[in-house]
């Protein structure tokens, strides 16, 4: 009891000391230097302490502090250049007026340049892109992280695989990395490496659900992207495809002199509607397919709170989103709860805690390569007459495939400054999820096409547990006058366990009995366990000379369970250099406010599959004499990780104050790519493929970003940006291995061609005999290159216009040039007789009156139709690889902020904003592709198959209305 008394007395004395020490007030007003308008939410703080504030709705701030020495007051705001003021303790600072200059290039924004490295953008030596997510979610509505990033980062393409709500998507960084792995970046959320995979579970035709669909976009403050090995080398293995760093919203100091908490509530309602209507000129059953689509409703409630003082800052949110897709059995119901807390225990110690619980339930429709979906049963109707002959429409509607995830993402860290300029950071993060798929075929419907007659139940359970551990030390010091140095060293560990279990039974006597144990026959059961660990030691040394020349050298040493014993650890170097040319006396800095040249080199890689290094992997098998084991795979204990080297050159410039440009040229090289080889039969082994390090690929390209603010007044502002990308790659080596094809036999890894190149036989035209009769198809003797599912050129244009002070119009359009898509849907529709164009050609050519010597014979017309008919010959898939260049008006919105009307007319000071807006996504498209959508892939977002449209659900057009109120 005495100890408890002493504890409480200590707490009381601490609060008394804190309250009695508040002896100095700093007050001020912050304005825009160009318009003189007050700025709301500007961060004002005393460097080296936790003392600070933010400006209120009228631009005023107040800081109470007990500081006794001279100090530096820092004023920072997103989109403006930071200002630092040297002030003297005790002087009268009752009302200072501060003007901030706009920063079009965002040159002073702190960006991540390595695993433990951050610097301002104006001196960064690598290309780093940032998406200001909090600004975007104010202007329009987003379902997922993928929508936030798409079209907003130079050098990055983001392609959805399907229009399914919650469906998978693929990042394509620069020229796509090496040959191994899934080609996807590693993703960090508040320092925690989170799972970025597509989970398919039981087959639904090709599509799965993205684990990134769990993340609530309303919680995100910004997203930073390191796009290749040059920037991501310090992240080690898996960093070769880039790194995506997501930072969520944090607590903030209370605005102005009132203190308290800021609240924000947002309500959104909308619909998903088909973006493409099928035409009867393409399919006889077009109306039936259009009838299968529905308008799916959207409802979302988001509530957040933020606040804090000089000791503690907090952010908390609750979000509930219900969304229906454009098919009846596709929906998402996501609930997200988040809390972030920063505690400034002492001037030199900071604790940070964050937690996010997600409950997400996705109902997945059947589609793609599947006879249980609407599209296959309608578009493959024989001669347009026998719709749903494979599966009845009601049976399709009643089949349920529900995926439910319980997930927690948490992080905690401590930052300690024991002495001046030395910072120690330790953090731990976890991403734990329980994923359950529950699939039911009702017993009173016929699914005999897939062998199910009396119902079927399936469970697929997956538990993923992954932990991220980081420790690093940073020390800043002066080597001599004008030469500053910053040294960082640390360690990182990643530990992941995946455990799956599945059970399927069939034969249910009644629809009233659905317990999986009541099935008469067990069709399948099993489990899988994988435990992988990766660790790395890293060091980085940066130097800055007279704040004009910048150099960074770094190394990373990686260890992993997927590295063979003989290979040992892996070493990755990096080096980068930048020069601020505008700081030369002879440079025309009055025109070019900033001009920086930069160069960077880095290495990273992809680990082998965990089982690739195991000599023999056995699996159990049940036979007539009981259980046994058979050889499942053969590994290579000598395997090394694929290594990817990249060099990038670039510059950044800001000119005439209101314009900026970023440009990067890159080249990357992959070596030691892992290629499976066929073993000779004389080995006597029952598995005939074994992996070896023989593959290689080269990539190159350019990316640029132009930003402009040509107009800015108190009532009007125009902001624009233009992104242009160009990329190429070529497979240089696959050893003596045969060409490697995807499951459709259409995408290839082949020396001399780009990765995933379409490679197939194709019709040249028609063959005619000596009398002029059509006698068949003239086809290439061998496969030929037919283009690529990734465009050579891509880009986007953004326009944001503020007018009449509080109206805001926003639009984003993006495009792709040099894109190809395999229209497998049309190929099969022709085979089933459901293509009017093909049937018209057939009827014409089989009519004797149209043949040579016939009553209606016209040689030019006959030959033209013969050639068109031959080029639709379904025996040759190359005939259905189409140009698919497109332009999409991707996002558009208009909103009005009633804050001034409320303030001036109602004198209601507690409302900081009231926004009412409308928005749309996939609003309009122009494309040469004959299918509904060029941005799909029938085999999901993680396979070797790319750019295949086979009964794949189009991406919908989305319309939203939303109301947001801030208090």
In a shared domain, residues 862 and 901: no
617 is a domain residue = no
Quote the strand ranges of 546-591, DSSP E. Answer: 549-560, 570-580
List, in order, residues 6 or more apart from 900 with CB less than 8 Å away: 805, 806
**Residue 421 burial (C-beta neighbours within 10 Å; 0-12, 13-18, 19+):** exposed
pLDDT of 255 reads 61
142 is a domain residue = no
Q: In what order do the strands lie in the sheet with 52-54?
A: 52-54, 43-46, 71-76, 83-87
**Residue 659 burial (C-beta neighbours within 10 Å; 0-12, 13-18, 19+):** middle
How does pLDDT run across 337-346, given as a tens digit for each residue? 999 999 998 8
Question: Of 64-73, 637-646, 666-675, 784-793, which has the strongest mean pLDDT?
Answer: 784-793
Question: What is the number of helices (H) and of strands (E) in the chain?
Answer: 11, 51
In a shared domain, residues 827 and 843: no
Task: Check which CATH number belongs to the domain holding 64 and give it.
Answer: 2.60.40.1120
User: Given CA atoms 504, 510, 513, 519 in this order, what sign does their dihedral have?
Assistant: negative
pLDDT of 14 reads 43
> By mean pLDDT, which of 374-378, 533-537, 691-695, 948-952 is the weakest?
691-695
In a shared domain, residues 393 and 497: yes
In the structure, what pLDDT confidence band is assigned to residue 49 with cuts at 50, 70 and 90?
Answer: confident
pLDDT of 259 reads 52
pLDDT of 624 reads 67
List, in order, residues 6 or more apart from 727 with CB less than 8 Å away: 155, 174, 175, 176, 699, 700, 701, 790, 792
Residue 867 is inside which H or E element, if any?
A: helix 859-870
How many whole angstroms separate alpha carbon 760 and alpha carbon 948? 14
482 is a domain residue = yes
Percent of the chain with pLDDT over 90: 67
In a shared domain, residues 341 and 481: yes
In the structure, what pLDDT confidence band is assigned to residue 254 with cuts at 50, 70 and 90?
Answer: low
760 is a domain residue = yes
**Residue 875 burial (C-beta neighbours within 10 Å; 0-12, 13-18, 19+):** exposed
How does pLDDT run across 271-285, given as a tens digit for each residue? 999 999 999 999 999
How many whole angstroms separate alpha carbon 776 and alpha carbon 797? 47
Could you tell me the CA-to-CA distances from 40 to 24, 184, 192, 255 in Å, in that order? 23, 38, 31, 8
3-state SS, residue 113: strand
Task: Check which CATH number belongs to the domain holding 653 and give it.
Answer: 2.40.170.20
In a shared domain, residues 88 and 206: no
**869-898: average pLDDT:** 97
Average per-residue pLDDT for the chain: 90
Place of tokens 């016209």: 858
End-to-end CA distance of the chain: 44
Tokens of 660: 């900026």
List, in order, residues 6 or more apart from 874 with CB less than 8 Å away: 827, 828, 830, 831, 880
120 is a domain residue = no
Beta strands 820-823 and 948-949 are: parallel
> By mean pLDDT, which of 173-177, 469-473, 552-556, 883-887 is the weakest?
173-177
170 is a domain residue = no
281 is a domain residue = yes
Could you tell me the CA-to-CA distances from 71 to 28, 287, 420, 638 in Å, in that order? 16, 73, 15, 59
The residue ranking higher by pLDDT, 19 or 230, is: 230
> By mean pLDDT, which of 24-33, 176-185, 674-683, 832-841 is the weakest?
674-683
What's the domain range around 843?
836-870
**698-725: average pLDDT:** 96
Which of 100, 131, 151 is at the close of a domain? 100
Cα angle for residues 417, 191, 498 (degrees, 5° grid): 135
In 3D space, the residue among 183, 162, 179, 189 whose CA is nearest the CA of residue 171 turns out to be 183
Which of 45, 76, 100 is at the close of a domain? 100
In a shared domain, residues 527 and 415: yes
How many whole angstroms separate alpha carbon 52 and alpha carbon 347? 13
pLDDT of 19 reads 42
In a shared domain, residues 564 and 426: yes
Tokens of 277: 């209507």
In 3D space, the residue among 165, 203, 200 whose CA is nearest the CA of residue 327 turns out to be 165
Q: Taking a C-beta distance cutoff of 8 angstroms, is the pair 506, 523 a contact?
A: yes
In a shared domain, residues 945 and 855: no
| DSSP single-letter state for residue 610 | G
In the structure, what pLDDT confidence band is assigned to residue 16 with cuts at 50, 70 and 90?
Answer: very low
Tokens of 239: 């960093």
How does pLDDT run across 540-551, given as a tens digit for each residue? 999 999 999 999
Which of 56, 71, 100 is at the close of a domain? 100
Tell me the pTM.
0.90
pLDDT of 568 reads 62
How many whole angstroms separate alpha carbon 941 and alpha carbon 948? 11
- Per DSSP, the residues of 89-153 read TTS--S-EEEEE-B-TT-TT-EEEEETTEEEETTT-SS-EEEE-HHHHHHHS--SSHHHHHTTSS
How many whole angstroms separate alpha carbon 749 and alpha carbon 758? 10
Q: Taking a C-beta distance cutoff of 8 angstroms, is the pair 88, 24 a contact?
A: no
How many whole angstroms separate alpha carbon 332 and alpha carbon 337? 16
Q: Is the pLDDT confidence value at 117 over 60?
A: yes
How many whole angstroms separate alpha carbon 840 and alpha carbon 844? 6
**Residue 951 burial (C-beta neighbours within 10 Å; 0-12, 13-18, 19+):** buried
Q: Is the pLDDT confidence value at 687 over 70?
A: no
Tokens of 809: 């119009």
pLDDT of 18 reads 42
Q: Taking a C-beta distance cutoff of 8 angstroms, is the pair 234, 114 a contact?
A: yes
**899-922: average pLDDT:** 87
**Rg from Cα positions in the chain:** 31
**475-488: average pLDDT:** 94
In a shared domain, residues 851 and 930: no
In a shared domain, residues 918 and 861: no
pLDDT of 566 reads 60
3-state SS, residue 2: helix
Q: Is the pLDDT confidence value at 22 over 60?
A: no
Q: Is the pLDDT confidence value at 839 over 50?
A: yes
Q: Taking a C-beta distance cutoff of 8 angstroms, is the pair 357, 336 a contact?
A: yes
Tokens of 156: 């990055």
Neighbours of 221 (CB within 10 A): 18
In a shared domain, residues 758 and 712: yes
Tokens of 904: 């001036």
How many whole angstroms separate alpha carbon 150 and alpha carbon 157? 7
Tokens of 929: 């592709």
Per-residue burial over 608-639, b if 16 or more Cβ lie within 10 Å, else e, is bbeebbbeeeeeeeeeeeeeeeeeebbbbeeb
CA dihedral in degrees (123, 590, 44, 801; nearest 10)? -100
Domain count, the chain: 3
**740-744: average pLDDT:** 92
In a shared domain, residues 186 and 311: yes
456 is a domain residue = yes
How does pLDDT run across 391-435, given as a tens digit for each residue? 999 999 999 999 999 999 999 999 999 999 999 999 999 999 999
């Amino acid at each position: 009891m005495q100890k408890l008394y002493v504890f409480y007395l200590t707490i009381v004395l601490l609060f008394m000391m804190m309250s009695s020490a508040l002896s100095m007030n700093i007050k001020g007003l912050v304005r825009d230097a160009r318009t003189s308008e007050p700025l709301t939410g500007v961060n004002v703080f005393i460097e080296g302490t936790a003392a600070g504030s933010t400006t209120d709705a009228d631009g005023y701030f107040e800081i109470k502090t007990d500081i006794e020495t001279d100090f530096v007051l820092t004023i920072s705001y997103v989109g403006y250049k930071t200002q630092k003021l040297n002030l003297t303790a005790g002087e009268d600072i009752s009302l200072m007026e501060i003007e901030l200059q706009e920063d079009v290039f965002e040159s002073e924004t702190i960006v991540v340049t390595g695993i433990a490295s951050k610097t301002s953008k104006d001196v960064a030596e690598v290309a780093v892109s940032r998406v200001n997510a909090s600004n975007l979610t104010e202007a329009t509505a987003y379902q997922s992280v993928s929508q936030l990033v798409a079209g907003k980062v130079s050098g990055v393409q983001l392609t959805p695989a399907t229009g399914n709500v919650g469906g998978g998507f693929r990042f394509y960084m620069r020229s796509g990395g090496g040959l191994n792995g899934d080609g996807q970046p590693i993703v960090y959320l508040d320092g925690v490496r989170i799972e970025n995979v597509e989970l398919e579970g039981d087959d639904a035709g090709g599509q799965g659900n993205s684990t990134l669909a769990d993340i609530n976009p309303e919680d995100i403050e910004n997203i930073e992207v390191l796009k290749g090995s040059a920037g991501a080398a310090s992240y080690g293995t898996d960093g070769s495809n880039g790194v995506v760093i997501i930072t969520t919203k944090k607590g903030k100091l209370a605005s102005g002199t009132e203190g308290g908490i800021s609240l924000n509530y947002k309500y959104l309602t909308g619909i998903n509607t088909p973006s493409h209507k099928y035409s009867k000129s393409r399919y006889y059953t077009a109306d039936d397919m259009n009838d299968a689509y529905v308008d799916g409703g959207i409802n979302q409630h988001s509530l957040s709170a933020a606040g804090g003082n000089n000791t503690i800052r907090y952010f908390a949110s609750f979000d509930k989103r219900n969304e229906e897709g454009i098919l009846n059995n596709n929906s998402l119901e996501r609930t997200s709860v988040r809390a972030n807390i920063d505690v400034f225990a002492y001037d030199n110690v900071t604790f940070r805690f964050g937690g996010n619980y997600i409950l997400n339930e996705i109902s997945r429709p059947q589609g793609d390569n599947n006879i249980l979906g609407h599209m296959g049963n309608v578009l493959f109707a024989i001669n347009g007459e026998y719709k749903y002959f494979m599966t009845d429409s009601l049976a399709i509607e009643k089949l349920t495939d529900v995926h439910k995830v319980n997930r927690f993402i948490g992080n905690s860290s401590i930052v300690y400054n024991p002495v001046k300029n030395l910072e120690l950071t330790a953090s731990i993060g976890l991403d734990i999820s329980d994923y359950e798929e529950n699939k039911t075929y009702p017993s009173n419907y016929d699914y005999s096409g897939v062998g199910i007659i009396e119902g079927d139940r399936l469970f697929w359970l997956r538990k993923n547990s992954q932990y991220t551990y980081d420790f690093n030390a940073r020390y800043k010091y002066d080597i001599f006058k004008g030469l500053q140095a910053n040294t960082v060293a640390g360690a990182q560990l990643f530990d992941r366990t995946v455990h799956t279990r599945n059970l399927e039974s069939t034969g249910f006597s009644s629809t009233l009995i659905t317990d999986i144990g009541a099935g008469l026959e067990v069709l399948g059961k099993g489990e899988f366990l994988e435990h992988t660990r990766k660790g790395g030691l890293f060091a980085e040394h940066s130097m800055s000379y007279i704040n004009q020349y910048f150099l960074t050298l770094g190394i990373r040493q990686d260890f992993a369970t997927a590295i063979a014993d003989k290979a040992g650890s892996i070493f990755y170097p990096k080096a980068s250099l930048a020069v601020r040319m505008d700081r030369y006396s002879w440079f025309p800095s009055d025109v070019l406010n900033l001009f920086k040249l930069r160069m960077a080199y880095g290495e990273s890689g992809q680990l082998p599959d965990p089982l690739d290094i195991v000599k023999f992997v056995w699996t159990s098998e049940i036979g007539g004499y009981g259980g046994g084991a058979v050889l499942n795979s053969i590994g290579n204990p000598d395997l090394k990780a694929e290594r990817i080297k990249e060099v990038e050159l670039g510059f950044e410039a800001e000119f005439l104050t209101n314009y900026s440009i970023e440009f990067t040229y890159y080249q990357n090289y992959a070596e030691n790519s892992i290629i499976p080889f066929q073993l000779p039969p004389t080995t006597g082994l029952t598995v005939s493929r074994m992996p070896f390090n023989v593959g290689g690929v080269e990539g190159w390209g350019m990316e640029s970003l132009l930003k402009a603010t040509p107009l800015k007044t108190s009532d009007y502002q125009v902001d624009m940006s233009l992104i242009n990308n160009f990329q190429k790659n070529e497979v240089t080596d696959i050893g003596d291995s045969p060409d490697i094809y995807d499951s459709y036999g259409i995408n290839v890894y082949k020396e001399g061609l780009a990765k995933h190149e379409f490679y197939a036989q194709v019709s040249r035209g028609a063959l005619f005999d000596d009398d002029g009769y059509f006698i068949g198809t003239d086809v290439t003797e061998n496969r030929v290159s037919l283009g690529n599912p990734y465009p050579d050129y891509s880009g986007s244009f953004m326009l944001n216009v503020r007018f009449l002070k509080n109206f805001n119009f926003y639009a984003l359009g993006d495009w792709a040039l040099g894109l190809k898509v395999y229209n497998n849907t049309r190929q099969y529709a022709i085979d089933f007789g459901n293509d009017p164009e093909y049937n018209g050609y057939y009827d014409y050519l089989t009519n004797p009156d149209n043949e040579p010597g016939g009553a209606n014979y016209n040689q030019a017309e006959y030959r033209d139709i013969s050639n068109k008919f031959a080029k639709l010959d379904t025996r040759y898939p190359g005939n259905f690889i189409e140009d698919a260049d497109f332009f999409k008006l991707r996002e558009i919105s208009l909103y009005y902020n009633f804050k001034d009307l409320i303030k001036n007319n109602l004198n209601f000071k507690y409302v900081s904003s009231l926004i009412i807006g409308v928005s749309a996504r996939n609003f309009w498209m122009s494309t040469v592709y004959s299918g509904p959508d060029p941005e799909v892939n029938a085999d999901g977002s993680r396979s070797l198959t790319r750019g295949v449209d086979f009964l794949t659900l189009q991406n919908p057009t989305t319309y939203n209305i939303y109301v947001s109120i801030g208090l």
